[in-house]
Amino acid sequence: MADKVSDFLLKRLSEWGIRRIFGYPGDGILGIMGALERHPDLFQFVQVRHEEMAAFMASGHAKFTGELGVCMATSGPGAIHLLNGLYDAKMDHQPVLAIVGQSARSALGGNYQQEVDLMNLFKDVAGEYVHTCTDAVQMRQLVDRACRIALAERTVTCIIMPKDVQDLDAVEKPPHKHNTVHTSAGYFYPYTIPSKEDLQRAADILNEGKKVAILIGAGAMDAGPEVTKVANLLGCGVAKALLGKAALPDDLPFVTGGLGLLGTTPSWNMMMNCDTLLMVGSSFPYSEFLPKEGQARGIQIDIDPRMVGIRYPMELNLIGDSVQTLRALIPLLHWKQDRSWREKIESDIRDWWKTVEARAKESADPINPEFVTWELSPRLPDKAILSADSGTTANWYGRTIKMRQGMKGSVSGSLASLGAAVPYAIAAKFAYPDRVPIALTGDGAFQMNGLNEMITVKKYWKEWSDPRLVFIVFNNQDLNQVTWEMRIEAGDPKLPMTQSIPDMPYAAYAESLGLRGIRVEKPEDVGRAIDEALSANCPTVIDVYTDPDVPTLPPHITFEEAKNYSTALLHMDPDEGGIIKESIKSLVEGILPGLGEKDK
């Protein structure tokens, strides 16, 4: 049989190195599904439960592998379902290609069933490149351009495939005549460094600084060794935006940890007292956690010119690859003789880890959520891949997990969508079947979509060389992160009507699918449950009953927030008693010192 457009689409994608497509079928992509069956050697098609999960998996795949993630959905409802996961990829600058079906050309414009204006629908999320294939001859250029633009711009692109076009005879090479386009596959990453003059200016500023602070993000993911050299030369510490948590291990003595609401006191202190800020590969959004305008001289390094100078008034913006730019910068930097700033940072960090331990070990009813991550951290297998959800799990992941060399981790950073941790972990498992992904997820997030994706795990887990894959559900029967936001930002008490969520037997549910399920109701069982999951011969869901009254408060708290917090309690918060009992020590130990210094 001669190749159809669908066969050629797949063959061309495989020339781009694509080996896996996350998706869900529908009659709008019948032709492509047929071609997938005809080419099992080229692709693995991962069948999810909901198209949003396919898009999150493509995003997670891109995050963990650095490759282009590909997802596919049918026309109309399938395409619409992809959107949230695609925005996750776009906002965290991940290359993802979405392939969606469309009504046949003969029906388009006829208000046909499932006909949605997909060009317009995807115009925002895939604004860099979204095109409809209306003729077989276009297929090659559409694939080549969609892949290249997604990789080069680290963004989302989209190819819309009307269903009749999928079955046309393939045209692999356009005729050599007017009105044709002749493209090739492959993207070759450029070597990008700033000019010598700008590098020297940056070095002069950094050499003059007495108290330098470095902030890194996901853009520094491969630059750990270079960041370490710079931090050693400049005698400073390194804070990490949440997406950059895996860029540098947390067991280095100068890594201050996270910054921001989910951050640490050493990061806060370093930012508030530095005289020079070097920001690498980060678009960390919360300006109140960066130095005050005028306090520090700023230098930013980013590969994307659109992302520089938007968070702090930088004196110098360097456009370049983080690894290559830092390598070019290092020979120009001088060893800081005075090490007192660095020593202070290191001692802050040592104190901070004691605070974390004390907080994690504080009693709670029934289990302190921070204790779960505290127990998990030293047990993490080498090269573990972590994901955390939007919700309080992001706090515990950010603060308590000590990331080691070789591990990976991510969250839905800029979109901060609920429901990313589970699909990220599944995508990680497909990409690295010999490693152990661990998803930290709230019960709200797990109910939103994690439960269904356990069915996807059931479908595939026996194919994985190492079947271990762990989902830890923080069962607090509350949309707890928002409950705390209500208390602290709005001064409202917990509102059960919007915040309480039902309990459900997550472990028993996992068992019903043939997975391992472990229910944990006492702190003394947490470690053993994690050990069991890490030595199981199948994926495991740990259902751990955590206390919603343990505060997720930031390392500093403003006077306004403190006032709101106490006002909420006075307003008869239903959990008032529990909070006072369980959290007051936390407040005093880890948080009020920040208040004392900064917000009087």
Ligand X SMILES: Cc1ncc(C[n+]2csc(CCOP(=O)(O)OP(=O)(O)O)c2C)c(N)n1
Angstrom distance (rounded) from CA 22 to CA 373? 30
- Residue 298 or 548 with smaller CB distance to ligand X: 548
Chain position whose Cβ is nearest to Mg ion: 442
- Residue 28 or 423 with smaller CB distance to ligand X: 423
Interface with Mg ion, residue 442, by CB under 5 A: yes
Residue type, 501: I
3-state secondary structure of 218: helix
| Per-residue x/- track, 384-423, Mg ion (CB under 5 A) | ----------------------------------------
Tokens matching residue 598: 């900064």
Q: Where are the alpha helices (DSSP H) in 210-274?
A: 224-234, 265-273
Tokens matching residue 107: 């029906």
- Residue 207 or 500 with smaller CB distance to ligand X: 500
What contacts 165, CB < 8 A, 6 or more positions away?
A: 5, 31, 105, 133, 134, 135, 136
Interface with Mg ion, residue 444, by CB under 5 A: yes
Name the region of 116 (left: φ>0; alpha: ψ -120 to 50; beta: rest).
beta
Residue 442 has phi, psi (to 5 degrees) of -75, 165
In the complex, least distance from residue 84 CB atom to ligand X, rounded to whole angstroms = 7
In the complex, least distance from residue 526 CB atom to ligand X, rounded to whole angstroms = 16
Binding site for ligand X (CB under 6 A): 389-393, 416-418, 442-445, 474, 476, 478-482
Strand pairing of 276-280 and 297-302? parallel
- Residue 373 or 456 with smaller CB distance to ligand X: 373
- Residue 478 or 582 with smaller CB distance to Mg ion: 478
3-state secondary structure of 387: strand
In the complex, least distance from residue 587 CB atom to ligand X, rounded to whole angstroms = 19
In the complex, least distance from residue 372 CB atom to ligand X, rounded to whole angstroms = 11
Chain position whose Cβ is nearest to ligand X: 442
- Residue 51 or 389 with smaller CB distance to ligand X: 389
Residue 418 binding result from Mg ion, ligand X, none, given CB thresholds of 5 to 8 Å by partner type: ligand X
Choosing from 198, 226, 302, 443, the residue that interacts with Mg ion (CB under 5 A) is 443
Q: How far is CA 489 from CA 483, 485, 564, in A?
A: 10, 5, 7
- Residue 421 or 529 with smaller CB distance to ligand X: 421
In the complex, least distance from residue 580 CB atom to ligand X, rounded to whole angstroms = 20
Angstrom distance (rounded) from CA 302 to CA 310? 11
Residue 393 binding result from Mg ion, ligand X, none, given CB thresholds of 5 to 8 Å by partner type: ligand X
In the complex, least distance from residue 524 CB atom to ligand X, rounded to whole angstroms = 22
For tokens 């391992």, the residue is 516
- Residue 113 or 498 with smaller CB distance to ligand X: 498
Q: Which of 503, 485, 504 has its CA nearest to residue 495?
A: 485
Name the region of 93 (left: φ>0; alpha: ψ -120 to 50; beta: rest).
left
DSSP state of 109: T
In the complex, least distance from residue 499 CB atom to ligand X, rounded to whole angstroms = 8
In contact, 151 and 186? CB cutoff 8 Å: no
- Residue 134 or 500 with smaller CB distance to Mg ion: 500
Instruction: Compute how many other C-beta atoms are within 10 angstroms of the C-beta atom of residue 15.
Output: 16
In contact, 513 and 455? CB cutoff 8 Å: yes
In contact, 324 and 219? CB cutoff 8 Å: no
What strands lie across the sheet with 297-302, from one edge to the other? Answer: 255-258, 237-240, 212-216, 276-280, 297-302, 316-319
Residue 390 binding result from Mg ion, ligand X, none, given CB thresholds of 5 to 8 Å by partner type: ligand X
- Residue 244 or 442 with smaller CB distance to Mg ion: 442
In the complex, least distance from residue 461 CB atom to ligand X, rounded to whole angstroms = 24
In the complex, least distance from residue 364 CB atom to ligand X, rounded to whole angstroms = 13
In the complex, least distance from residue 504 CB atom to Mg ion, rounded to whole angstroms = 12
Residue 416 binding result from ligand X, Mg ion, none, given CB thresholds of 5 to 8 Å by partner type: ligand X
Please tell me the count of residues contacting Mg ion according to CB under 5 A. Answer: 6
Beta strands in 460-500 (DSSP E): 470-475
For tokens 């540098």, the residue is 248
- Residue 357 or 492 with smaller CB distance to Mg ion: 492
Residue 482 binding result from Mg ion, ligand X, none, given CB thresholds of 5 to 8 Å by partner type: ligand X
Interface with Mg ion, residue 370, by CB under 5 A: no
Residue 336 has phi, psi (to 5 degrees) of -75, 125
> Half-sphere exposure of 400 toward its Cβ, with a 13 Å CA cutoff?
28
In the complex, least distance from residue 393 CB atom to Mg ion, rounded to whole angstroms = 9
| Per-residue x/- track, 467-506, Mg ion (CB under 5 A) | ---------x-x-x--------------------------
Residue 506 binding result from ligand X, Mg ion, none, given CB thresholds of 5 to 8 Å by partner type: none
Which chain residues interact with Mg ion by CB under 5 A? 442-444, 476, 478, 480
